């Protein structure tokens, strides 16, 4: 309450009015004093202490709006950072020729990973990585000897450590994996060139001007792997001595979870450097360099979605298919899955999400960014409606805005004239950056329980102590998580750090002074999940133009030579820019 409001209040004790009455009989002084003092004290205490406390958490909407807008703003742009020597890799024709041959050969060595691979890294299915390791050690021999220390981790993992001259400084960690997703045999006729040929083309199509390298894994992520190796090789050749220790980590099973590769490497590093012992790390990312809406933007993945698989199992009585019920088990599970798809997760624009900051960066700096969206971004009250509009426009945008669900597996039935007794399906959820595994599972249960009751089925959801029973039901639905756990969304990296300024300033030096450094996010999972204890500054970033780095995980995967060379220059310049840089 304000001072002016207090002055306008009726006084607590009023003066007596005339005419005066005879004085009453004297009363107990203590009792009289308490009669007035106690209420007065309570009023003072309430207005001085209790009322402010009860109201302090209630802010005017304008203040809430201001806070949301501040949290979601585009970060202050870092200056261009260009310390020490530079390397114009794109115009280094001798190296460009060498890099082309190296990347082509890397594609020719098949390093596919399959989901059913055993946990034992010594299993013969991983022997293909011996050939790839031999190739790397031959082509980049300077990385496998002094001054760089090489370690083999869990058979096929690679760990390089280039000790810095100042041991007090935390190391940085650069990452890339050596395995690839498989090529589906049914898609072979859709490839322009065989996926493991490592085809090099020059001006092959209007969409691929200049030199391009084609094949499985060339983009995800042998481009990044060889770009990092090439930058270190150059620095060693130049006689460079880093002030800060540089670590390179390469897992070999990222495409199937990373537990054998990055999982083991992270344990080695945690024991060596301790919790929060790394200054920052950079791993692969769908984010990179874009030229959208008239601006060059370097988008750094500073958040990563979580994931969880949900198994939906239907169990019911069997019998001969000549006497079927209204819905067989396959029919029931179809209804359940259709119900899930009819209730998708709501897209949201959260001020906590780096994706909203990415939109605000475009709104602030990109001259061709749609004015209508720019206007809606200014008002947090319109964010919900804007999220709905964006999600409807594009599946990729929806993946940035919401938890997604994909029904990927279903099995059931053994014979055409036998009613199926057990049918199950698996649904993959990619959990929104600001949500959780529990929130996702709760949504699934809330959607399916009413339908189960309507169908006359009992249902137990995720190890509930009490199933939801239906009287006289002989059929049951079980919701479970294969393996018993999911992956929570990654910690969100702050954009108000010295590492963000370092990475953004380096991008400006390589891709142009006017490049905008922007937070973004990663809706797929990476090996960074294994390193959360080592640093809170996690970046997923491929320093290549997105239009020159195409078709990861699908047919005709390819990258332009210029894109690969720019990635090489980025890592070279980043390491050079570490000189004198203080994270601590």
332-381 residue pLDDT tens: 999 999 999 999 999 999 999 999 999 999 999 999 999 999 999 999 99
Which one of the listed residues 112, 233, 253, 254 is annotated catalytic? 254
* Residue pLDDT, tens place only, 79-99: 999 999 999 999 999 999 999
What is the tally of structural domains in the chain?
Answer: 2
Residue 56 lies in a domain: no
- Give the whole-angstrom CA distance, residue 42 versus residue 333: 64
Q: What pLDDT sits at residue 247?
A: 99
More confident residue, 21 or 453: 453
- Give the whole-angstrom CA distance, residue 206 versus residue 210: 10
For 74-232, strand residue ranges (E) read 148-153, 157-162, 172-175, 200-202, 211-214
Residue 556 lies in a domain: yes
Confidence tier at 65 by pLDDT (50, 70, 90): low
Q: Do 140 and 281 belong to one domain? A: yes
Q: Do 315 and 458 belong to one domain? A: yes
Q: State the alpha helices, DSSP H only, in 201-301.
A: 223-237, 262-273
Q: Do 273 and 221 belong to one domain? A: yes
Which of 466, 484, 502 delimits the end of a domain? Answer: 484
- Say what the alpha-carbon torsion angle 441, 442, 443, 446 is, to the nearest 10 degrees: 130
Residue 177 lies in a domain: yes
Give the structural domain span for 413. 304-484
- Return the ∠ at Cα 135 (arms to 130 and 138), rounded to 5°: 125
Residue 395 lies in a domain: yes
Residue 190 lies in a domain: yes
- Give the whole-angstrom CA distance, residue 210 versus residue 203: 5
More confident residue, 53 or 294: 294
For 147-189, strand residue ranges (E) read 148-153, 157-162, 172-175
Q: Do 290 and 269 belong to one domain? A: yes
Q: Do 387 and 372 belong to one domain? A: yes
- Residue 544: Cβ-neighbour burial (10 angstroms; 0-12, 13-18, 19+): buried
Q: Do 138 and 277 belong to one domain? A: yes
CATH number (domain holding residue 406): 3.30.70.360
Question: Average of pLDDT values for 559-578?
Answer: 98
Q: State the alpha helices, DSSP H only, in 379-432.
A: 383-393, 395-401
Answer yes or no: is pLDDT of 232 > 80.
yes
Q: Do 410 and 424 belong to one domain? A: yes
Least Cα distance to 144 among 163, 161, 157, 128 occurs for: 161
- Give the whole-angstrom CA distance, residue 562 versus residue 558: 12
Q: State the alpha helices, DSSP H only, in 72-127.
A: 93-108
Confidence tier at 484 by pLDDT (50, 70, 90): confident
User: What DSSP string runs through 271-291?
Assistant: HHH-TT-SSEEEE--S--EEE
- What burial letters (b/e) apply to 13-51, b meaning 16+ CB within 10 Å? eeeeeeeeeeeeeeeeeeeeeeeeeeeeeeeeeeeeeee
Question: Average of pLDDT values for 124-139?
Answer: 98
Q: Do 317 and 290 belong to one domain? A: no
- Give the whole-angstrom CA distance, residue 237 versus residue 88: 15
Residue 67 lies in a domain: no
- Give the whole-angstrom CA distance, residue 460 versus residue 364: 50
For 481-531, strand residue ranges (E) read 516-522
Using a pLDDT cut of 90, give the percent of the chain over it: 83
Sheet holding 211-214, edge to edge: 200-202, 211-214, 558-560, 549-550
CATH number (domain holding residue 206): 3.40.630.10
Which of 450, 466, 484 delimits the end of a domain? Answer: 484
- Give the whole-angstrom CA distance, residue 529 versus residue 517: 24
Q: Do 189 and 138 belong to one domain? A: yes
- Give the whole-angstrom CA distance, residue 553 versus residue 134: 25
Tokens 């290549």: give the residue.
544
Using a pLDDT cut of 70, give the percent of the chain over it: 87
Confidence tier at 467 by pLDDT (50, 70, 90): low
Residue 77 lies in a domain: no
Q: Do 476 and 514 belong to one domain? A: no
Q: Do 177 and 284 belong to one domain? A: yes
Would residue 179 show up in a list of annotated catalytic residues for this protein? yes
The angle, 0 to 180 degrees and rounded to 10, between the axes of the packed helices 93-108 and 128-139 is 170
Instruction: List, in sequence order, every residue forming a beta bridge with 383; answer none if it has no partner.
Output: none
Q: Do 460 and 315 belong to one domain? A: yes
- Give the whole-angstrom CA distance, residue 146 versus residue 229: 15
Residue 28 lies in a domain: no
Question: Average of pLDDT values for 225-238?
Answer: 99
Tokens 């018993």: give the residue.
484
Question: Average of pLDDT values for 124-151?
Answer: 98
Q: Which residues are annotated as a binding site for Zn(2+)?
A: 177, 220, 255, 283, 553
Question: Average of pLDDT values for 289-293?
Answer: 96
Decide if 180 contacts 217 (C-beta within 8 A). yes
- Give the whole-angstrom CA distance, residue 502 versus residue 489: 25
Q: Which residues are annotated as a binding site?
A: 177, 220, 255, 283, 553
Which of 438, 467, 484 delimits the end of a domain? Answer: 484
- Give the whole-angstrom CA distance, residue 215 versus residue 554: 10
- Residue 515: Cβ-neighbour burial (10 angstroms; 0-12, 13-18, 19+): buried
Which one of the listed residues 139, 179, 527, 548 is annotated catalytic? 179
Confidence tier at 471 by pLDDT (50, 70, 90): low
SS3 assignment for 533-552: CCCCCEEECCCCEHHHEECC
Answer yes or no: is pLDDT of 55 > 60.
no
- Give the whole-angstrom CA distance, residue 175 versus residue 544: 16
Tally of CA atoms within 13 A in the half-sphere of 297 that contains its CB? 27
pTM of the model: 0.86
């Amino acid at each position: 309450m304000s001072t002016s409001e207090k002055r306008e209040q009726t006084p607590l004790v009023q003066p007596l009015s005339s005419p005066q009455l005879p004085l009453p009989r004297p009363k107990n002084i203590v009792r009289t004093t308490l009669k007035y003092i106690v209420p007065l004290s309570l009023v003072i205490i309430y207005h001085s202490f209790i009322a402010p406390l009860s109201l302090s958490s209630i802010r005017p909407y304008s203040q809430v709006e201001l806070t949301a807008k501040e949290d979601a703003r585009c970060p202050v742009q870092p200056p261009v950072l260009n310390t020490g020597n530079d390397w114009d890799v794109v115009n280094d024709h001798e190296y460009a020729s060498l890099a082309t041959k190296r990347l082509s050969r890397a594609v020719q060595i098949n390093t596919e990973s399959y989901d059913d691979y055993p946990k034992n890294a010594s299993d013969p299915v991983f022997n293909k990585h011996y050939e790839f390791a031999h190739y790397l050690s031959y082509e980049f021999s300077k990385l496998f000897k002094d001054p760089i220390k090489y370690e083999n981790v869990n058979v096929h993992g690679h760990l390089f450590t280039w000790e810095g001259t100042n041991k007090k400084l935390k190391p940085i960690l650069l990452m890339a994996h050596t395995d690839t997703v498989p090529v589906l045999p049914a898609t072979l006729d859709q490839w322009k060139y065989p996926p493991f040929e490592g085809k090099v083309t020059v001006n092959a199509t209007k969409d691929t001007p200049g030199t391009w390298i084609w094949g499985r894994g060339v983009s995800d992520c042998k481009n990044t792997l060889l770009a990092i190796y090439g930058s270190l090789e150059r620095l060693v050749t130049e006689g460079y001595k880093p002030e800060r220790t540089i670590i390179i980590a390469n897992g070999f099973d990222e495409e199937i979870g990373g537990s054998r590769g990055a999982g083991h490497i992270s344990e080695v590093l945690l024991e060596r450097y301790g919790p929060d012992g790394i200054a920052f790390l950079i791993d692969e990312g769908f984010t990179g360099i874009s030229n959208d809406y008239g601006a060059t933007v370097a988008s750094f993945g500073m958040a990563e979605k979580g994931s969880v698989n949900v198994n939906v199992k239907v169990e019911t009585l069997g019998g001969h298919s000549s006497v079927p019920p209204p819905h067989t088990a396959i029919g029931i599970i179809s209804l359940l899955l259709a119900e899930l798809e009819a209730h998708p997760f709501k897209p949201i624009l959260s001020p906590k999400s780096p994706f909203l900051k990415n939109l605000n960066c475009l709104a602030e700096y990109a001259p061709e960014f749609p004015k209508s969206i720019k206007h809606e971004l200014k008002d947090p009250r319109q964010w919900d409606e804007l999220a709905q509009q964006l999600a409807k426009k594009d599946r990729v945008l929806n993946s940035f805005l919401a938890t997604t669900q994909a029904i990927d597996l279903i099995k059931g039935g053994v014979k055409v004239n036998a009613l199926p007794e057990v049918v199950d399906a698996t649904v993959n959820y990619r959990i929104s950056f600001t949500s959780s595994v529990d929130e996702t599972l709760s949504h699934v249960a809330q959607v399916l329980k009413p339908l189960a009751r309507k169908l006359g089925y009992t249902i137990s959801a995720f190890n509930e102590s009490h199933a939801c029973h239906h009287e006289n039901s002989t059929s049951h639905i079980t919701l479970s998580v294969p393996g018993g756990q999911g992956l929570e969304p990654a910690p969100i990296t702050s954009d108000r750090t010295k590492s963000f300024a370092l990475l953004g300033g380096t991008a400006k030096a390589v891709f142009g002074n006017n490049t905008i450094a922007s937070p973004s996010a990663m809706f797929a999972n990476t090996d960074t999940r294994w390193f959360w204890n080592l640093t809170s500054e996690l970046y997923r970033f491929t320093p290549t133009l997105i239009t020159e780095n195409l078709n990861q995980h699908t047919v005709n995967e390819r990258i332009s030579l210029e894109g690969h060379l720019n990635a090489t220059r980025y890592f070279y310049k980043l390491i050079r820019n570490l000189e004198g840089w203080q994270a601590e």
